[in-house]
Amino acid sequence: MTLKNLATPKNIIGIIAIIAFVVIVPQVVQGFAMTIINVALLFAIISYGVSIMLGMGGQLSFAAVTFMGFGAYFIANMSTGRLGFVIPTFLALLLTPIVFAGVAFLIGLVLLKLKGTYFTFSTIALVQVAFTYFNNFQPLFGGPDGISGIPTLTIGSYSFGNDLTAWFYLICVFVIIGGIIVERIRRSQLGRSLASIRDNETAALTLGVNTYLTKVIAFSIAGAFAAFAGALWVMHGRFVGAEMFNFLNATQFIIMAMIGGVNSTVGIVIGALLVRGLPEFFRGFQGYMNLFWGVSIILLMVFMPTGLAGIKDVIVDKFRQFRVKSRKGDDDDATNTKA
């Protein structure tokens, strides 16, 4: 991504859209909706990891929720002094992605010896094992009552407290940084290696791609994203309990990425906002919320299999049925969304 192709009209519109989002949202939204948006944006960071694993590398992993848990419990232990020492929250936050990139690398070394669906199953196993420990192992995870009394994020002398708007700006910064990282990876050697694995792992091997190491690196980047977001999440909500990290919750990050468009960075953010925002619409239908949610997932998958980012492909396809003359150009993102 050089400066020259940064200045395309498309990107300029994109940057304006992002700035507009960051500026307008705090003006029109306060209170409750702000908590929804903040958590949605945190979840978008976790879904970035899904994008790297599933979108770029074609590997379906449920492990994100477990790494989110690792990040959250790490902060809870470091900042409350329950282990006998306290690390400043900001330092702990910065440590989280580094520590858990390492942890994810080690776990990845083990799990990614497996391929395809076997790998997916091993991540389900990881989620189950980790959940059981989160729920039962008191010394590190607080046991049944979880860990409360977690301090909020403090940078220097500035404390984010319960200022939801300040949190929003902070999270936006990380969402944007994360998005840039994802876009860089997509265009890097790593991204191309992952794409080659996704399209045909055997062919990638014969072309000299170290598929194993590539996947392990992707797994550890995804783990770092999830742990970092988990760390922010726990300082935002100031409570952590094991119920958050069970298998049911593991699926929602994949759903977010799929709904947004698993290879569209902006799409993932929108997907996360939609997944978190949709239930608020159904709040009136108390008792039926889960039913609507399930039906929406099916409908979205049936009618928008490539997510929101794929809407255009669907529309363009329909359009082309009338106008046989096909246009060239403007198709670069269409190629992104096809596996």
Partner 1 sequence: MSLQLFSTLFINGLAMGVVYAMLAMGLILLIRAVGILNFAQGEMFMFGAYISAALILDFHLPFFAMIPVAMISFIIVGLIFMFTIYWPLRKASYAATTIIATMGAAIVLRELAVLIWGAMPRSMPPLMQTPEGGAAILNIGGTPLPWQFVLIIIVGAALMLLIYLLFEKLYIGKLMQAACQNSYAANLIGIPTILTIAATYSIVSILVSVGGYMVSPIFTVNNTLGTMQLQAFAGVVIGGFGNIKGAIIGSLLVGLIEVFSTINFSAYRDVSVFLVLIVVLLLRPQGLFGEKIADKA
Partner 2 sequence: MKKLRNLGALVLVMALLAGCTGNGGSGDDNFYIGIIVASGANALVGQYTQNGANMAADEINAAGGILGRQVVLVIGDEIDSLQASVDATNALLFNDDLSAIVGSMYSQFALGAMPRVYETGIPFFAQGSSSGISNEGNPYVWQVRPIDTFQGLAIAEFAVNVMGVQNPAIMFSTQHTFASLAEQTIVALQDLGVTITDANRFGFPEEETNYLPYFAQILAGDFDAIIAMANQMPSALIMEHAVIAGVDPQQMPLIGSTSFGSNVAITTAGASSNYWYSITDWVPGGHTPAGRAFEDAYVARFGEPSDLPAVIWYDAIMLIRHAAEAAGSTDRDAINNALHDIRNFPGAMGYFSYFPDQVFSTALNITRNMDQQVTLIEGITFREP
The contact set with partner 2 (CB under 8 A) reads 10-11, 13-14, 16-17, 20-21, 24-25, 28-33, 35-37, 39, 132, 135-136, 143-146, 148-149, 162, 237-239, 241-244, 248-249, 264, 266-267, 270, 273-274, 277-281, 283, 286-290, 308-309, 311-312, 330, 333
- From the CB of 92, what's the least distance to partner 1, in Å? 28
Classify residue 84 by its DSSP letter: S
Q: How many CA atoms lie within 13 A of 315 on its CB side?
A: 7
The Cα–Cα gap between 44 and 38 comes to 10
Find the binder of partner 1 among 2, 5, 157, 202 (CB under 8 A). Answer: 202
Helix H or strand E segment including 6: helix 3-6
Choose between 77 and 296: whose C-beta lies nearer to partner 1: 296
Q: Nearest CA to 199 among 211, 189, 213, 188?
A: 211
Residue written as token pair 């170290």? 210
Verify binding: residue 211, partner 1, rule CB under 8 A.
Answer: no
The Cα–Cα gap between 46 and 64 comes to 7
Helix H or strand E segment including 93: helix 89-111
Verify binding: residue 255, partner 1, rule CB under 8 A.
Answer: yes
Given partner 1, partner 2, none, residue 311, with its beta carbon under 5 to 8 Å by kind, binds partner 2
Verify binding: residue 128, partner 1, rule CB under 8 A.
Answer: yes
The Cα–Cα gap between 18 and 114 comes to 39
| Dihedrals phi, psi of 154, to nearest 5 degrees | -130, 125
Instruction: Report 49-68 residues binding partner 1 (CB under 8 A).
Output: 54, 60
Residues forming contacts to partner 1 in the complex (CB under 8 A) are: 54, 60, 110-111, 113-118, 120-122, 124-126, 128-129, 131-133, 136, 202, 247, 251, 254-255, 258, 262, 288, 290-291, 293-298, 301-302, 305-306, 338-339
